[in-house]
Structure 1
Amino acid sequence: MTSATDTLAGLFETKAVSFVDLTHPMKPGMPVWPTHPHFCQEMVESYDRGDVACNHALAMSEHTGTHFDAPVHFVRGGVAISDIPVERFFGRMVTIDARGCQPGQAVEPDSIFAFEAEHGLIRQGDAVFFHFGWDRHWDDPAVFLADWPGLSRQASELLVERGARIVGSDCLSIDCFGSEDFPAHNTLLSAGILIGENFARLGEVPPLCFLISLPLAIEGGSGSPLRAIALVES
């Protein structure tokens, strides 16, 4: 089986690769989970005040902006983000078009089967993302923070069976708005699968490409903001 490193090297050797930034810029006023702290950026040193350097203090949640959830986020004693092997953050990326979902609707296994019928089976170790098109609401937090779609328990269980390494979307949560038992979070994180939330521009990548993503190594962290890039072969 071709390793992620070999695949990445092969893509660069073709010299026909485009880069798609899947990360929302972090700025005050950005959408956050209702119980989480808002993103704050405070000037500490400034050229305008006569300082020799520019420096900001930041305050945020581990789940601010484009980020990963680690298993410990929902699983007592689960793996922290700092303990995830770095190779998990690189590899093949599968993007499923789920724009047909209505607000608050959950993706069911049939949507995954339909994707596989056209593009082939999801492989062990794939990062599987659902493009709901919800990122179009990012700059309107009142809309972004309500009625988003997500994954059903059955769809999540299917992705566990397929051996996905990451499952994510462009919504605030992988579970539907209003969920109280969080079936997708519990199913995926209990299986050791990372969850990616608040991804951007999933509509600009093909069904199959290569994901590079690096979260912060927060000791004991339940998750981390990250920079995520898709490498798309021309």
Structure 2
Amino acid sequence: MKKLWDISPLVHPDAPLFPGDEPYRLQWTARLSPQCPVNLSALTMSPHVGAHADAPLHYANEAPDIAAVDLDAYLGPCRVIHAIGCGPLIRIEHVEHAAEGLPSRVLVRTCERADTVWKDEFTAYAPETVAWLAARGVRLIGLDTPSVDPASSKSLDSHQQLLRADLRVLENLVLDEVPAGDYELLALPLKLAGACASPVRAVLREL
């Protein structure tokens, strides 16, 4: 059996999320009993809680929702690049050492341990790094922090670069135990009509 790395954080009521986002809530609508044959629950949450895939609709009106995006970007060969402690932005010099034979999916590990509480300061992508990766055939990028843009950004320059290059993105991954190198990525979004994002159960499998 090929080894799997689960790179998704636990989704729970205290999971870190952007201020103002809807937290995860689970409500039981039916419980197993002599009168009821099953347990049933209902969920309320922002689709940006936990590991998730942003849709272009998240950062551009009239852009595709998550149900409309092609799935092939979320499944296939992937490279994990370590840039631990690189500072507020992942710059080209932090990833260019791993550019030879680059597959079309790139995840960058920036943390020794992924945060389990919300912090205003985290590492994001420099927009020129997004463009540089796209120019080398990358179709999906990801990282182990809440966003490809800083929390304080109003222009969302890296998200807009994703839009221009038609890249897909995964955010809030957990890469704590993943060595740098090549893997198979499996991280399919749900087919949620009209949604700006979707939770994913992101997994890496050894090649």
Q: 1:88 aligns to what?
A: 73
SS in 2 for 1:94: strand
SS in 2 for 1:214: coil
Q: 2:157 aligns to what?
A: 183
Q: 1:27 aligns to what?
A: 12
SS in 2 for 1:88: helix
Distance, in Å, in 2 between the alignment partners of 1:97 and 1:55 is 41
How far residue 48 of structure 1 moved from its aligned partner, in angstroms, is 6.4
How far residue 112 of structure 1 moved from its aligned partner, in angstroms, is 2.0
Regions of 4+ moved over 4 Å: none
The answer on whether the counterparts of 1:91 and 1:212 sit within 8 Å (CA) in structure 2 is yes
1:58 and 2:43 equivalent? yes
Evaluate the alpha carbon distance shift between residue 67 and residue 206 of structure 1 in structure 2; reply closer, same or farther with a 3 A threshold. Answer: same
How far residue 202 of structure 1 moved from its aligned partner, in angstroms, is 5.0
Of residues 62, 67, 71, the one that matches 1:77 is 62
Q: 1:219 aligns to what?
A: 193
Q: TM-score, normalised by structure 2?
A: 0.91
The answer on whether the counterparts of 1:75 and 1:190 sit within 8 Å (CA) in structure 2 is no
Q: 2:126 aligns to what?
A: 152
Q: 1:208 aligns to what?
A: 182
The answer on whether the counterparts of 2:73 and 2:105 sit within 8 Å (CA) in structure 1 is no
1:41 and 2:15 equivalent? no
Of residues 74, 77, 82, the one that matches 1:97 is 82
Distance, in Å, in 2 between the alignment partners of 1:27 and 1:109 is 34
Distance, in Å, in 2 between the alignment partners of 1:134 and 1:50 is 50
Q: 1:109 aligns to what?
A: 92
Q: How many residues align?
A: 207
- Structure 2 residues without counterparts, runs of 5 or longer: none
The answer on whether the counterparts of 2:83 and 2:95 sit within 8 Å (CA) in structure 1 is no
Which AA in structure 1 matches 2:149? D
Q: 1:122 aligns to what?
A: 102
1:193 and 2:173 equivalent? no
The answer on whether the counterparts of 2:114 and 2:144 sit within 8 Å (CA) in structure 1 is no
How far residue 49 of structure 1 moved from its aligned partner, in angstroms, is 8.8
The answer on whether the counterparts of 2:142 and 2:170 sit within 8 Å (CA) in structure 1 is yes
| Structure richer in helix, relative to its length | 1
Which AA in structure 2 matches 1:122? L
Distance, in Å, in 2 between the alignment partners of 1:58 and 1:130 is 30
- Structure 1 residues without counterparts, runs of 5 or longer: 1-14
Which AA in structure 2 matches 1:76? N
Distance, in Å, in 2 between the alignment partners of 1:128 and 1:80 is 22
SS in 2 for 1:157: helix
How far residue 128 of structure 1 moved from its aligned partner, in angstroms, is 0.9
Superimposed CA distance per residue, residues 69-90 of structure 1 (whole angstroms, 9 cap, x where no aligned partner): 0111112222221112222221
Q: 1:132 aligns to what?
A: 110
C-alpha RMSD of matched pairs (Å): 1.9
Distance, in Å, in 1 between the alignment partners of 2:55 and 2:171 is 12
How far residue 158 of structure 1 moved from its aligned partner, in angstroms, is 0.6
Q: 2:135 aligns to what?
A: 161
